[in-house]
Amino acid sequence: MKSQCLSRVIAGVPHRNFYEAYAKRFGHHLNEMPTEVLSWRLDALLANRVPTPSYAKNGKRARVRCEPISFRSVYYVERGRSLRTPVYKHGLLSEGDRISGPAIIEQVESTAVIGPADKCIVDKYRNLVLSIVPEKAKLARSARSAAR
């Protein structure tokens, strides 16, 4: 059984080149059917060297204290209740910032939720590096805290 996938480098009139390639591959063509593109893939080669990621102008960012922009009440299943949770803006974090959970770190594309027993450190590229505590350890810590 032949796949219905057809990769084609198209130059000129797209539908004519497509029908010719389709007929060559599958032995027939569907001229009466309109061409429908379901997905596009682009492979590109650059003549320039690959850029090295930069993490700050002149090697360092100005050091600003890591402060939450707000607080929210967030429900955590492992605690069985809502906790007052600080919210940070990712763009305001600097290399070396350490955040202990619970916390929320927001950016335009995504939101990171740092659990109550977890930790986060910001690396030199401003990635969030999380240390996740296994669930059993979280529950044991929670039980010890409740017993105090």
Residue type present at position 113: V
CB 119 within 8 A of CB 100: yes
Give residue 124's pLDDT band: very low, low, confident or very high (50, 70, 90): confident
Cα separation, 103 vs 9, whole angstroms: 48
* Nearest Cα residue to 94 out of 105, 86, 84, 85: 105
* Nearest Cα residue to 70 out of 118, 115, 105: 105
Cα separation, 5 vs 92, whole angstroms: 45
pLDDT above 90 (res 84): yes
For 10-65, what is each residue's pLDDT tens digit? 555 556 677 777 788 888 776 676 666 677 777 777 677 666 666 554 445 555 56
**pTM (2 decimals)?**
0.53
Mean pLDDT, rounded, of the chain: 77
Distance of CA 68 to the CA centre of its chain: 22
CB 25 within 8 A of CB 5: no
